[in-house]
Amino acid sequence: MTSLRARLVVISLATVLLAGIALTYAVLAPAADAPASTALAGAGPRVQVLTNGLLSTVSRADPGGPREVTAVRCDRAHTGAATVACLTPVGALTATSLVVMDAALRPLKEIPLTGFPNRLRVSASGRMIAWTLFIDGHSYATNGFSTQTGILDTRTGRIVRSLEDFTITRDGRPYRNADVNFWGVTFAGDDNRFYATLSTGGRRSLVEGDMAAGTVRTLRDNVECPSLSPDGTRIAYKSAIGADPAKGWRLTVLHLGSGRTVPLAETRSVDDQPAWLDDQTIAYGLQTGDGTNNTWTVPADGGGAPTLLIPGANSPAVIGRDGA
């Protein structure tokens, strides 16, 4: 069987050959009758999602109501302030790219990437964007995968192609290993600090990063795909059951001040980076057996029960609300 890395090489070569062809507009530009210019500016708070891969929004107050669906196709999407980020789908002869848009979905910047889209986050201010791609493998349930996680500062134009270039402090000591992988970035309110997952030596750890210093340091183990609360005091994440990803994951909340952890009421395995709808509610995607994506919510305090929020949708993000 052709390895995923070999497939990526073929895709990269094909992309170079097709560089002269203007495909970007066809992928990103909304159709003439698509409500792209108003999709992110509807009345009242709205939630951005992907509907069968198309960028969409629904009313936060009526998530089961009318849905604004655009022609913008993404494998992953996220938003913060007036910034919308999209990881475009990988095609037979095209690689993915990060596309940065404004609130009217006008493309502002495009960065060609190599890999398969997996995670995407925009900071609350809209300034910082982080992405994770699978380079080898396609599942966090195994140990044979390889990822690449990068960060874009939209204000300065600085691009960190891989967090693996950052200086790592693990358990208080300088650390370097060829098996290092990062994924699932979430930004603090200062647009400098961030949290992410570091995998190395059979351990998966929560790290705190410093963009200006180019450093990361481990905080605790068995924390994957962190998501910082709007008030900056808690992190929602997926925790491997029995510290074994092959057994699935339990959504959990970490209180940063006390170190207390709270397993949430969702007992199904969730392989997603959760998103905070507000300081009390966490949203996440679950896929049914037939491949349908649905967005669910669960209270952040460990009580209550899971609730289906938006059927047939994934990649939820609140539009114009602080927090990622």
Nearest alpha carbon to residue 77 among 119, 40, 106, 41: 119
Band (pLDDT 50/70/90 cuts) for residue 320 is: low
> Which whole number is the average pLDDT over 21-39?
38
Among 42-46, 120-124, 263-267, 302-306, which stretch is predicted with the lowest mean pLDDT?
42-46
Could you tell me the residue ranges of all domains in the chain?
3-27+45-318
With a cut of 60, say whether residue 206 has pLDDT above it: yes
Query: Which pair of tokens denotes residue 18?
Result: 């097709």
Nearest alpha carbon to residue 30 among 55, 66, 61, 63: 55
Q: Which amino acid is at 285?
A: G
> Which whole number is the average pLDDT over 232-261?
97
pLDDT tens across 250-309, in order? 999 999 999 999 999 999 999 999 999 999 999 999 999 999 999 999 999 999 999 999
Quote the CA–CA distance of 239 and 258 in Å, as a whole number: 18
With a cut of 80, say whether residue 7 has pLDDT above it: no
Say how many residues make up the chain.
Answer: 324
Q: Which long-range contacts (CB under 8 A, 24 or more apart) does 16-21 make?
A: 18/93, 18/94
Band (pLDDT 50/70/90 cuts) for residue 92 is: confident
Q: Which amino acid is at 49?
A: V
Return the CATH superfamily for domain 3-27+45-318: TolB, C-terminal domain (2.120.10.30)
Kindly report the pTM of this predicted structure: 0.87
Residue-level pLDDT at 93: 83
Query: Which pair of tokens denotes residue 110?
Result: 């495009």
With a cut of 70, say whether residue 59 has pLDDT above it: yes
> Which whole number is the average pLDDT over 34-52?
68
pLDDT tens across 217-232, in order? 999 999 999 999 999 9
Nearest alpha carbon to residue 218 among 226, 227, 210, 209: 209
